[in-house]
Chains A and B, each alone.
Chain A
Amino acid sequence: MTITLYDYTLSGSCYKVRLLLNFLGLSYDRRQMNFYPGRQHKSPEFLEINPLGQLPALQDGDLILRDAQAILCHLANKYDADGHWLPRDERFGDVMMWVMFAGGELMNSSAARLHDALGYKLDVHAARTNAHAAFRVLEDHMTAREIAGRKWIVGDTPTIADIASFPYIALSGEGGIGHEDYPALRNWMRDFRRLDRFHAMPGVPEFV
């Protein structure tokens, strides 16, 4: 069965999916979309795939999915038999809670970046303020985790909660949101970048 990812290299949301595909060692077709300046994600052909006109989208056999978080859940559910990335025990709810946070509150960092990098018209001040508020929530959580001797958002190993959260924290500087106030997030990002099969994207340093 072929997996096709409707992808854009500079998209942090697409990067979430590429990260998991890589961690799982899955091969896939990469359909490079001309997001900017081509706006191919708003073309009639692509709106057939995702009526919301957003990247990423994923086709897996007959199944077509949109939303990075949903795609992470699907891939982990189907291809990660051990439940490493999406544990099915008591950690499940916790993982899902942070995955939703990554697709929700943390997307304020994406909005600020779209404003600064691609000139999107939006209230960038509000986006930055809300992103900082979200970063703080995760910073406090990761501080408590560090004190408890833990490295990851949930449990003892990385999960899709870490994958979903990583891109828009790592890329936030491109939206004018610095990492200075978030030492626990910096430690966590460093550990994430050290994971086996981790790969970078433009704006995310490869080096640790």
Chain B
Amino acid sequence: MLAMWRGEDGPVRIWEDRCPHRGMRLSFGFVRGDALRCIYHGWSYRTDGQCIEIPAHPELTPPKTICASSYPAESRYGIVWTNLERGGPAPFPDLGPDEGWLPVRSLYVNRPAGQVEAAVESFDFGAPSSIRLKNPSAILLGIGSQMEMLLAIQPVNADRTGLHAVVRGENASAARADLARRMQHLRAEIEAEREKK
């Protein structure tokens, strides 16, 4: 599991959701300034992961080895991308400039990613649509002639998948509510299908 957070200095950080002290979920913690503080014993971590404060030992400078474990994190098109392989870069598609994307919604489907992907490709989003681009973590759909919707596919585990959708183009702003509702129908449709092997 992952903890995502943002300090005052800006960029999103993605860490393993595990405090180096006793393993408490860091996502239960809270952000103060540029540090994430664990809810359990209050150990505090800088944006680079380094532990900078141990409240029970205020006089101690925490050793360099106490460090939260991090993953790459890139914000692009209103979606945060990571790579669990750590070594590699975050696998977002190249869609040109980062501007103009509006959020539709995130939603979770109790089905494997492959099944979700297949259903997205053939779903009716309200206007004739075409697949403009596809990679293992995202599908870009042209919707009508004016809009593009990007759906990032997040395999949560073997039978749960997150879908994160953003849209751009003329009328994108007015279309958000309708697209969000259609995604609910998409979820219902996928979950009504028998699980495919």
Q: Which residues of A115-146 have CB atoms within 8 Å of chain B's CB atoms?
A: 140, 143-144
What is the chain B residue whose CB lies nearest that of A179? B27
Instruction: Give chain B residues whose Cβ lies under 8 Å from the Cβ of A104.
Output: none
* Known contacts A148-B177, A205-B28, A208-B30: A143-B105 contact under CB 8 Å: yes
CB distance from B176 to the nearest CB of A (A): 5
Please tell me the number of chain B residues within 8 Å of chain A, measured between CB atoms. Answer: 14
Contact pattern, A 169-197, Cβ under 8 Å of B = 1, otherwise 0? 00000000000110110000000000000
How many angstroms between the C-alpha atoms of A183 and B78 in the bound complex? 14
B132 at the interface (CB under 8 A from A): no
A207 at the interface (CB under 8 A from B): yes
CB distance from A169 to the nearest CB of B (A): 15
A selection of 24 A-B contacts at a CB cut-off of 8 Å is A140-B184, A143-B105, A143-B107, A143-B180, A144-B177, A144-B180, A144-B181, A147-B105, A147-B176, A147-B177, A147-B180, A148-B177, A180-B108, A180-B156, A181-B108, A181-B162, A183-B106, A184-B105, A205-B28, A205-B30, A205-B39, A207-B30, A207-B39, A208-B30
What is the chain A residue whose CB lies nearest that of B106? A183
Instruction: Give chain A residues whose Cβ lies under 8 Å from the Cβ of B105.
Output: 143, 147, 184
How many angstroms between the C-alpha atoms of A180 and B30 in the bound complex? 17
Which B residues contact A (CB, under 8 angstroms)? 28, 30, 39, 105-108, 156, 162, 176-177, 180-181, 184
Top 5 closest pairs, chain A to chain B, by CB: A181-B108, A207-B30, A147-B177, A143-B105, A147-B176
What is the chain A residue whose CB lies nearest that of B184? A140
Contact pattern, A 140-171, Cβ under 8 Å of B = 1, otherwise 0? 10011001100000000000000000000000
Instruction: Give chain B residues whose Cβ lies under 8 Å from the Cβ of A140.
Output: 184
CB distance from A79 to the nearest CB of B (A): 33
How many angstroms between the C-alpha atoms of A183 and B177 in the bound complex? 16
Instruction: Give chain A residues whose Cβ lies under 8 Å from the Cβ of B106.
Output: 183
Instruction: Give chain A residues whose Cβ lies under 8 Å from the Cβ of B107.
Output: 143
CB distance from B165 to the nearest CB of A (A): 11
CB distance from A86 to the nearest CB of B (A): 27
How many angstroms between the C-alpha atoms of A108 and B179 in the bound complex? 30
Seed contacts A143-B105, A144-B180, A180-B108; 13 additional CB < 8 Å A-B pairs? A140-B184, A143-B107, A147-B105, A147-B176, A180-B156, A181-B108, A181-B162, A184-B105, A205-B28, A205-B30, A207-B30, A207-B39, A208-B30
Instruction: Give chain B residues whose Cβ lies under 8 Å from the Cβ of A143.
Output: 105, 107, 180
How many angstroms between the C-alpha atoms of A181 and B156 in the bound complex? 10
Instruction: Give chain B residues whose Cβ lies under 8 Å from the Cβ of A144.
Output: 177, 180-181
CB distance from B4 to the nearest CB of A (A): 11
How many angstroms between the C-alpha atoms of A208 and B5 in the bound complex? 13
Instruction: Give chain B residues whose Cβ lies under 8 Å from the Cβ of A208.
Output: 30
What is the chain A residue whose CB lies nearest that of B2? A180
Q: Which residues of A1-49 have CB atoms within 8 Å of chain B's CB atoms?
A: none
CB distance from A146 to the nearest CB of B (A): 8
How many angstroms between the C-alpha atoms of A205 and B24 in the bound complex? 14
What is the chain A residue whose CB lies nearest that of B164? A183
What is the chain B residue whose CB lies nearest that of A139? B107
How many angstroms between the C-alpha atoms of A75 and B39 in the bound complex? 34
